[in-house]
């Protein structure tokens, strides 16, 4: 009886220790060629040393004023996204992206079931009726991700110690821009990193 209760206390103790001592946060700044902050960049960390926990969380991309909001969504593989239509016009949401081809035929209100994103990759979505509507989903194999705010900054918290590959994605990459990847080690200190969004090199003659 006594032994059992001691074991339980020890286990609880080691859990809280690993949580407080070895978790750090990473702050990432994304800048363009002029040094301005870049909003809506997906930033995520893949482990180089082990398997990361699966923590799929539901997300929502609404349609309002004939726009998708938000423009950029980052989710872990296995998460579901709902696509509520909050306009008075009907929308027809679709994607041809290999990571998740799907179609929500002309509808108003909220479709009955959300869409499951079960493969990592970039998913570009559009509306069949309104050509200018576009949104981006970056599906990542890690629970450690975020997207940059209006000043180009994002903070990823509760990172366990380990070695990671820091990856970044932004819609401009579809137009030929590039963002470097890097390796970072999380030990016991918070880390700050700056990433450059390099513009597409224009090979066309002017």
Work out how close the CB of 129 gets to Cu ion at its nearest, in angstroms, rounded to a whole number: 4
Closer CB to Cu ion, residue 9 or residue 65?
A: 65
Rounded Cα gap, residues 48 and 54, in angstroms? 16
Q: How many CB atoms lie under 10 A from the CB of residue 52?
A: 18
| DSSP helix/strand/coil, 62 | strand
Which is nearest to 203 in space by CA: 176, 170, 182, 185?
A: 176
Work out how close the CB of 198 gets to Cu ion at its nearest, in angstroms, rounded to a whole number: 33
Closer CB to Cu ion, residue 99 or residue 134?
A: 134
Peptide bond into 76 cis (omega under 30): no
Closer CB to Cu ion, residue 33 or residue 129?
A: 129
Q: Which residue has the tokens 């081809």?
A: 101
Work out how close the CB of 194 gets to Cu ion at its nearest, in angstroms, rounded to a whole number: 37
Q: Is 91 an interacting residue with respect to Cu ion (CB under 5 A)? A: yes
Closer CB to Cu ion, residue 127 or residue 159?
A: 127
User: Of these, 130, 155, 163, 165, which contacts Cu ion (CB under 5 A)?
Assistant: 130
How many chain residues are in contact with Cu ion, going by CB under 5 A? 4
Closer CB to Cu ion, residue 54 or residue 129?
A: 129
Segment 25 to 84, residues that bind Cu ion, using CB under 5 A:
none
Which is nearest to 141 in space by CA: 173, 172, 163, 167?
A: 167
Query: Which stretch in 109-117, 124-132, 140-148, 175-183 sits in contact with Cu ion by CB under 5 A?
Result: 124-132
Between CA 143 and CA 152, with CA 146 as vertex, the angle to 5 degrees is: 160
User: Of these, 127, 139, 173, 186, which contacts Cu ion (CB under 5 A)?
Assistant: 127
Rounded Cα gap, residues 141 and 19, in angstroms? 22
Binding site for Cu ion (CB under 5 A): 91, 127, 129-130
């Amino acid at each position: 009886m006594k032994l059992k209760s001691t074991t339980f206390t020890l286990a609880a103790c080691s859990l809280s220790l690993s949580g407080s001592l070895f978790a750090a946060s990473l702050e990432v700044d994304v800048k363009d060629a002029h040094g301005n902050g870049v909003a809506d960049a997906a930033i995520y960390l893949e482990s180089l040393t082990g398997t990361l926990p699966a923590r799929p969380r539901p997300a929502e991309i609404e349609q309002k004023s004939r726009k998708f909001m938000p423009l950029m969504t980052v989710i872990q593989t296995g998460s579901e996204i709902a696509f509520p239509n909050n306009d008075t016009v009907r929308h027809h949401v679709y994607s041809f992206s290999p990571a998740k081809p799907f179609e929500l035929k002309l509808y108003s209100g909220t479709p009955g079931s959300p869409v499951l994103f079960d493969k990592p990759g970039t998913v570009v979505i559009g509306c069949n009726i309104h050509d200018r509507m576009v949104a981006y989903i970056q599906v990542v194999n890690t629970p450690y991700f975020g997207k940059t705010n209006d000043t180009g900054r994002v903070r990823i918290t509760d990172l366990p110690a380990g070695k990671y590959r820091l990856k970044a994605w932004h819609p401009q990459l579809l137009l030929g821009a590039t963002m470097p990847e890097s390796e970072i080690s999380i030990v016991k200190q918070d880390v700050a990193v700056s990433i450059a969004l390099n513009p597409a090199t224009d090979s066309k003659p002017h």
